[in-house]
Amino acid sequence: MKAEDLLRRYLEQRREMGETELVLDGLSVEEVMKLVGIKRGKGAPLERARPIVREAEGASAAGEPASAGWRDALRVSGAAPQPPRAEPIRSDDLPAARPARSAPFAEQVAAEPELPAPAAPLAPAPPGLVVGSAEMERVPPDIAAAVDLDQLAELIRRCTRCDLYKTAINAVPGEGSPHADFMCVGEAPGAQEDATGRPFYGQAGQLLTKILQAVNLSREEVFILNVLKHRPPGNRNPLPDEVSACRPYLVRQVHLVAPKVILALGTFAAQSLLETKLSIGKLRGSVHRYHGIPVIVTYHPAALLRNPAWKRPTWEDVQLARRILDSASA
């Protein structure tokens, strides 16, 4: 991708998030300087770049290109987004988890530099989209007849409603407390989930566990599931037909668990659940309804691994979901 396109895409993402400050990566210093009209030279260009990122100590060893120190500085600060990826990322695309980086989620958020203060986190959230019970009519009788999650999981394991079962190793029906008050909905199993049959099992899953812990929820007390129950080959995007084929399971799971709040993780889960094409930036911050249950939308944990700047908005979203849970339980 050309430097201008990368920069434009990045700026659009940031604006969508309501961000006003920048951390740039995936572009060399020279490219960015050219883009913003800074001429090559000594002293002045670096002075211009400095307010954006701190330089890493000792990173500008003789002979290294300027961009190396600049990117290292970002990585050292913990603020570096991964280079932009064209493909959606699931946990299995990512390198193995590094236990050393296991600060609690709230601390990770607090440690993110270069971020504006959260915007009025306690303001009441406006109502959003409503997706409702007309869907019930589309649930086939065998799925509607499943009396509990175990029966439903059995149907899911034998499911041939779309072709994904042919390439998947295991179905991933979902797991957690059968009467959880808090439900997390992801996109689809990745390789590790496919291998184990368990949702959010890879690195994104570990981050999800921390995000939940940050609002005093354990994985065991919530229910975690995906829109799709079988892995799309190579983690390709789910097809509309696959989403439709799988939807009755989701509807039945939501009815059986009857959570007090649903957290939709990422663009795909949010758009599938809420039957909308609206961007995640537009969907965040409102309280939508799915079969009467409040739905909060946030970034996918895999996206946070790529772009730590999304941790703070995610933290706000999860706190909003927690407040809804608390007020529903009060």
Task: Report the nearest approach of ligand URA to the CB of residue 76 (Å).
Answer: 25
Nearest to 17 by CA among 311, 260, 319: 311
Q: Are the C-beta atoms of 250 and 224 separated by less than 8 Å?
A: no
Task: Report the nearest approach of ligand URA to the CB of residue 1 (Å).
Answer: 17
Which range of residues in 59-67, 88-96, 140-148, 150-158 is near ligand URA by CB under 6 A? 88-96
Task: Report the nearest approach of ligand URA to the CB of residue 248 (Å).
Answer: 19
Paired sense of beta strands 287-290 and 175-176, if any? unpaired
Task: Check binding of 238 to ligand URA (CB under 6 A).
Answer: no
Which one, 218 or 327, has the nearer CB to ligand URA? 218
Place of tokens 């808090």: 182
Task: Check binding of 280 to ligand URA (CB under 6 A).
Answer: yes
For 5, which DSSP code?
H
Quote the CA–CA distance of 161 and 310 in Å, as a whole number: 35
Task: Check binding of 299 to ligand URA (CB under 6 A).
Answer: yes
What is the chain's length? 330
Which one, 274 or 280, has the nearer CB to ligand URA? 280
Paired sense of beta strands 182-186 and 261-265, if any? parallel
Please list the helix, strand and coil fractions of the chain in percent, rounded to the nearest 5, in that order: 50, 10, 45
Of the residues 23, 33, 162, 204, which one makes contact with ligand URA according to CB under 6 A: 204
Task: Check binding of 248 to ligand URA (CB under 6 A).
Answer: no
Task: Check binding of 199 to ligand URA (CB under 6 A).
Answer: yes
Task: Check binding of 197 to ligand URA (CB under 6 A).
Answer: no
Of the residues 267, 272, 286, 314, which one makes contact with ligand URA according to CB under 6 A: 267
Spatial CB neighbours of 8, under 8 Å, sequence gap ≥ 6: none
Residue 320 has which token pair? 């909003």
Spatial CB neighbours of 254, under 8 Å, sequence gap ≥ 6: 183, 262, 290, 291, 293
Q: How many residues bind ligand URA (CB under 6 A)?
A: 23
Task: Check binding of 223 to ligand URA (CB under 6 A).
Answer: no
Of the residues 193, 194, 316, 317, which one makes contact with ligand URA according to CB under 6 A: 193
Of the residues 26, 69, 173, 186, which one makes contact with ligand URA according to CB under 6 A: 186
Residue 69 host element (H or E): helix 66-77
C-alpha pair distances (Å), 290 with each of 133, 141, 148, 157: 8, 21, 20, 25
Task: Check binding of 13 to ligand URA (CB under 6 A).
Answer: no
For binding to ligand URA (CB under 6 A), which residues are involved?
A: 88-91, 186-190, 193, 199-200, 204-205, 226, 266-268, 280, 299-300, 302-303
